[in-house]
C-alpha cells in the first residue's frame, strides 16, 4: 500500500475533511482558488505578493491547501510525519566557491545566469543556476565580492501622493473593453533622424494607436493621451504605464481631468506591460526597419505611421482574436453586448 506522509498541520486539515466527510465541500471552497493561483503563477509568472492581494491567501496557505487537495484526490493512505523535517545539506564546497569567485572577479557585471552558462560550457559543472545564485550571495555576505553595478543602482520608486495609483494585478477575464490600456514610449532613429514614439495598446481588442513627437516630455505624453481619447474606438476607463518621468506631472493631471484611472507599474516589471512591449517590437520590425520607408521628417513619418496603423487595425488578422482584426473584434464585442442587454 502506498503511504503519503504530510506535515502535522496539513494532516489535521486532511484528517478533518476525510473524517467529517466534507471532502466535496473542501474542494468546492478551495479548489478553484488553488487552481487559479497555480495557473497565474505558472503561465504569467505573477509574484506571490500580487497573488496574495488578488486571492486573499498567503503563499504558505496556498501550498498547505494544495497539499491537502492532492492528498484527498489521491485516495491513498495518509499519515502525519513522525519526525520534523531535517535541513537540506549544502551541495557545494570550496571548489565550487573558488570557481564561481574566479569567474565573477574577471567579470564583475555577470550575474548567476551568465556564470551558470560559463560553468556549464567551460567546466562541465552540473550545479543549477539557483545554486550559483546562493554561492554569489554567500560570497557577498562575506564581502568577498561586490554587488554588480546594476544591482548597486538604486531603483527610484514613484511617490503616490497625487492622482496615480500603485499597480494592482487583475485577471484578464475580469476586464472590460477599455480597461487597463497599456501606454509606452520608445525612441527610434530612421533615415538619420531621431523620433519619440508614443503608443497605446488595448488588451481585449489589440487595437494599437500611436503618434510621433520630437520630444518625450510629460506635456507630450499628455498631448498623446488627449489624441488617444479622440481616436480610440472604445471608452478609456483606465490606463497603466511604467514609472518614466514622461508619465508624471502634466500627464497625470491630464488623466485626472479626463477622469481616467492611472496605474503605475513597479520598477523593473515589463512583464505586466507585455502587450505594448510586443507592439513595440511589431512597430520596429514592420515599420521602422522597413527599407522602403523613406520619410525624413516628423510630418512625413506621422503620415506613414498612420497608414501602417490603419492596416494593422483594419486588415491584419490576429491569431489571439481567432483571425479577426482589432476593429472587427470591437464590432462583435458591441453587438454581443447589445444582444445581452436586450434579453
The last residue of a domain, from among 80, 112, 139? 80
Q: How many domains does the chain have?
A: 3
Express each pLDDT in 157-213 by its tens digit. 666 667 888 888 777 777 889 899 999 999 988 888 888 999 999 988 999 999 999
Furthest C-alpha separation in the chain: 77
- How far are the Cα atoms of 34, 73, 220 from residue 31, in angstroms, in the given order? 5, 11, 48
Same-domain check for residues 230 and 316? yes
Highest mean pLDDT of the ranges 8-12, 126-130, 172-176, 215-219: 215-219
Query: In this predicted structure, which of 11-25, 76-90, 245-259, 292-306 has the lowest mean pLDDT?
Result: 76-90
pLDDT at site 217: 92
pLDDT at site 1: 36
Same-domain check for residues 274 and 221? yes
The single residue listed with the C-alpha cell 492528498 is 71
Same-domain check for residues 115 and 260? no
Nearest to 15 by CA among 58, 95, 75, 78: 78
Residue 82 pLDDT > 50: no
Same-domain check for residues 172 and 226? yes
Question: Under 8 Å CB-to-CB from 155, ≥6 apart: which residues?
Answer: 267, 268
159 in a structural domain = no
88 in a structural domain = no
Residue 14 pLDDT > 60: no
Q: Give residue 106's domain range.
A: 94-151
Express each pLDDT in 112-149 by its tens digit. 888 988 988 888 777 888 899 999 988 988 888 887 66
Ranges of H-type helices in 178-297:
218-231, 250-258, 274-283
Same-domain check for residues 116 and 220? no
160 in a structural domain = no
Nearest to 240 by CA among 223, 256, 264: 264
Question: Under 8 Å CB-to-CB from 25, ≥6 apart: which residues?
Answer: none
pLDDT at site 93: 84
- How far are the Cα atoms of 223, 225, 253, 298 from residue 219, in angstroms, in the given order? 6, 10, 10, 18
The last residue of a domain, from among 57, 80, 103? 80
76 in a structural domain = yes
Higher pLDDT residue, 79 or 284?
284
Query: In this predicted structure, which of 3-12, 19-28, 180-189, 305-314 has the lowest mean pLDDT?
Result: 3-12
Same-domain check for residues 192 and 278? yes
Same-domain check for residues 182 and 147? no
Whole-model pTM: value is 0.57
The DSSP line for 26-65 is HHHHHHHHHHHHHHHHHHH---HHHHHHHHS--HHHHHHH
Residue 80 pLDDT > 60: no
Same-domain check for residues 211 and 310? yes
Same-domain check for residues 184 and 296? yes
158 in a structural domain = no
Segment 211-231 mean pLDDT: 92
pLDDT at site 149: 64
Give the alpha-carbon dihedral of 218, 224, 227, 231, to 10 degrees. -140
Amino acid at each position: 500500500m502506498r503511504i503519503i506522509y504530510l506535515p502535522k498541520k496539513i494532516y489535521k486539515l486532511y484528517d478533518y475533511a476525510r473524517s467529517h466527510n466534507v471532502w466535496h465541500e473542501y474542494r468546492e471552497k478551495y479548489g478553484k482558488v488553488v487552481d487559479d493561483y497555480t495557473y497565474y503563477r505558472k503561465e504569467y509568472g505573477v509574484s506571490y505578493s500580487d497573488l496574495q492581494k488578488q486571492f486573499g491567501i498567503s503563499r504558505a496557505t496556498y501550498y498547505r491547501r494544495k497539499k491537502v487537495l492532492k492528498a484527498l484526490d489521491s485516495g491513498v493512505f495518509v499519515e502525519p510525519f513522525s519526525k520534523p523535517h531535517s535541513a537540506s545539506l549544502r551541495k557545494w564546497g570550496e571548489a565550487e566557491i573558488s570557481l564561481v569567485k574566479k569567474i565573477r572577479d574577471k567579470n564583475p557585471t555577470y550575474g548567476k545566469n551568465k556564470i551558470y552558462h560559463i560553468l556549464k560550457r567551460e567546466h562541465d559543472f552540473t550545479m543549477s543556476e539557483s545554486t550559483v545564485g546562493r554561492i554569489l550571495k554567500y560570497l557577498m555576505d562575506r564581502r568577498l565580492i561586490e554587488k554588480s553595478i546594476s544591482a548597486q543602482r538604486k531603483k527610484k520608486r514613484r511617490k503616490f501622493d497625487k492622482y496615480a495609483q500603485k499597480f494592482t494585478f487583475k485577471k484578464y477575464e475580469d476586464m472590460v473593453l477599455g480597461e487597463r490600456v497599456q501606454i509606452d514610449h520608445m525612441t527610434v532613429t530612421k533615415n538619420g533622424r531621431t523620433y519619440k514614439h508614443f503608443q497605446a495598446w488595448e488588451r481585449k481588442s489589440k487595437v494599437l494607436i500611436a503618434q510621433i513627437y520630437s520630444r518625450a516630455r510629460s506635456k507630450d505624453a499628455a498631448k498623446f493621451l488627449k489624441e488617444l481619447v479622440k481616436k480610440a474606438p472604445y471608452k478609456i476607463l483606465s490606463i497603466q504605464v511604467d514609472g518614466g518621468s514622461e508619465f508624471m506631472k502634466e500627464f497625470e493631471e491630464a488623466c485626472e481631468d479626463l477622469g481616467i484611472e492611472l496605474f503605475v507599474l513597479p520598477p523593473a516589471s515589463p512583464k505586466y506591460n507585455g502587450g505594448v512591449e510586443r507592439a513595440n517590437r511589431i512597430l520596429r520590425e514592420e515599420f521602422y526597419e522597413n527599407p522602403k520607408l523613406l520619410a525624413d521628417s516628423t510630418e512625413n513619418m506621422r503620415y506613414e505611421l498612420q497608414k501602417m496603423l490603419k492596416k494593422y487595425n483594419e486588415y491584419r488578422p490576429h491569431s489571439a482574436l481567432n483571425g479577426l482584426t482589432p476593429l472587427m473584434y470591437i464590432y462583435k464585442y458591441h453587438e454581443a453586448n447589445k444582444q445581452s442587454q436586450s434579453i
